[in-house]
Amino acid sequence: MSPRRPLLAAAAALSLVALYRTAVAEPEPPAALLRGPQDFAVIADPNARSVALFGEMGKVIQSPRCLNCHPVGNRPTQTEAMRPHQPLVVRGIDGIGAPGMHCANCHHSDNFDSAHAPGNPKWSLAPAEMAWQHKTLGQICRQIQDRERNGGRSLAQIVDHMGRDELVGWGWHPGAGRRPAPGTQARFGALAQAWVDTGARCPA
Ligand code: HEC
Ligand code: HEC
């Protein structure tokens, strides 16, 4: 055997391992899991189209990536199973945690995969009036249009927040081991715009 053979064999084995890893570890492309506004053009009645568009948006809104941080009560939840946050952390003033247990102690400006900690510069708990957990999609739909409960936003500002806010955008870049929200933030924003353009109707 020439001295180069074992090297070649090792290289081949390594590339096989790499191939296997991509094949096994790559999740289904999330972009395929959210339809765009054009997919709803077949619904002629604008009211029905609006409700259907919000139903599609619900795939994102009710994903664990969003719900975990929009809990009822003072404590975020974690993981796909949305179990109570470990260690115990609470909202505190302004949603950034109690003194000594600030979110930023562990959640930095970016995901920190080796500690499995998600991160974003704006990381904090959504205010209590923006709680989405344990609510129907219809209830959430009405709540996010209510300026008393949506941070005083107009519908245009809600669309902008959905489509452009960087903390919302974290949902599609949640770090290793977490399933991203379906689709892309741009498509989610386009759905929100189409929903508003058709009258911002809500499911029952
Ligand atoms: C790390 C926590 C966190 C995550 C994750 C998060 N949010 Fe929020 N969200 C907040 C906070 C904090 C506010 C209040 C910010 C403000 O009013 O400026 C908020 C406010 C909002 C609002 C405006 C108020 C309302 O409820 O109508 C929308 C819309 C929203 N989030 C959408 C989302 C969506 C969609 C996702 C998932 C893709 C998401 N959020 C994920 C923390 C979070
Ligand atoms: C002592 C460290 C620590 C503190 C303080 C902390 N967290 Fe976490 N948090 C973590 C870790 C680690 C994870 C990842 C857990 C996992 O996925 O297994 C996490 C996960 C989360 C998640 C779940 C993200 C997802 O969708 O998977 C949310 C939401 C969250 N934290 C919000 C907060 C908020 C809001 C605060 C402040 C009030 C806070 N955390 C304070 C360590 C901390």
Ligand 2 centre to CA of 118 (Å) is 7
Find the angle CA(136)-CA(141)-CA(145) to the nearest 5 degrees: 145
Contact between 62 and 92 under an 8 Å Cβ cutoff? The reply is no
Residues whose CB falls within 8 Å of the CB of residue 72, separated by 6 or more in sequence, listed in order: 128, 131, 133, 134
Contact between 76 and 87 under an 8 Å Cβ cutoff? The reply is no
- 101 Cβ closer than 6 Å to some ligand 2 atom: yes
Ligand 2: which residue has its CA nearest to atom 32?
Answer: 76
Residue 77, Ramachandran bin (φ over 0: left; ψ between -120 and 50: alpha; else beta): beta
The stretch 71-78 carries a mean pLDDT of 96
Ligand 2: which residue has its CA nearest to atom 30?
Answer: 76
Average pLDDT of the chain?
A: 91
* pLDDT tens for each residue of 168-194: 999 999 999 999 999 999 999 999 999
The stretch 39-59 carries a mean pLDDT of 98
In the numeric block, the tokens 């999330």 are attached to 30
Contact between 126 and 156 under an 8 Å Cβ cutoff? The reply is no
- 105 Cβ closer than 6 Å to some ligand 2 atom: yes
* pLDDT tens for each residue of 101-155: 999 999 999 999 999 999 999 999 999 999 999 999 999 999 999 999 999 999 9
Cis upstream peptide for 87 (omega within 30°): yes
CA distance 168 to 28: 21
